[in-house]
Amino acid sequence: MKQHIPPMEIRCFRTDDEPSVIALWKECDLVRPWNDPHRDICRKLKVNAEWFLVGLVDGQVVATVMAGYEGHRGWLNYLAVAPEFQRRGLARGIVVEAERLLRKAGCPKINLQIRTSNQAVIEFYRRLGYSVDDVVSMGKRLEHEDR
C-alpha cells in the first residue's frame, strides 16, 4: 500500500535547485553523454525560464518539466518524477501545469519525443490525450558537446 504524500507544490526553477534537478534527472535515466544537464539548464534559463517547472514535496524537488514554444508548436522536455513518487499523479500534475502555461501563450499543439523503448512513458502520455503522430523525428546537432 502506498503511503500518503503531501500535495506537490509546482513553481519555477530556481538556480539553487540545479543540483537536486540534475540528481533527479540522473536517477530517472534522462541524462545522456551527449546532453550536458548543466548546459541544458543554462540554455533553458535564456528562453522562457518561467516554463522550467519543478515540483516539490516537503521542500524536496521530486518532479521537473521544461516547456517551450516558438510560436508554432510547444514542446515538453525533461519530464521526471522521483521513482519513489511515481504513479501518484505528480507527473500528470506538472504536465497539466505546463500545458496550462502553453495554452495561455496561444500554443495550439504540443510535441514531445519519447524513446521508442520507453513504453511506460508512451502509455502515460496516451492517458493524458497525446497520440503518436505519423512523422519522422529528425535532428541536427549545431553544437558538439565536449565529452
- Helix and strand totals (H; E) in the chain: 4, 5
97's grid cell: 501545469
DSSP string computed for 17-79: GHHHHHHHHHHTT---TT--HHHHHHHHHHS-GGGEEEEEETTEEEEEEEEEE-SS-EEEEEE
- Whether residue 144 is predicted with pLDDT greater than 80 in this model: the reply is no
Residue 88 and residue 1 in contact, taking contact as beta carbons nearer than 8 Å: no
pLDDT tens, residue by residue, 54-80: 999 999 999 999 999 999 999 999 999
Phi, psi of 97 (to 5 degrees): -65, -40
Q: Which domains does the chain have, with CATH numbers?
A: 9-127 (3.40.630.30)
**What is the rounded average pLDDT of the residues 10-39?**
95
Which of these ranges, 16-20, 76-80, 138-142, has the smallest mean pLDDT? Answer: 138-142
Does the predicted TM-score (pTM) go above 0.85? Answer: yes
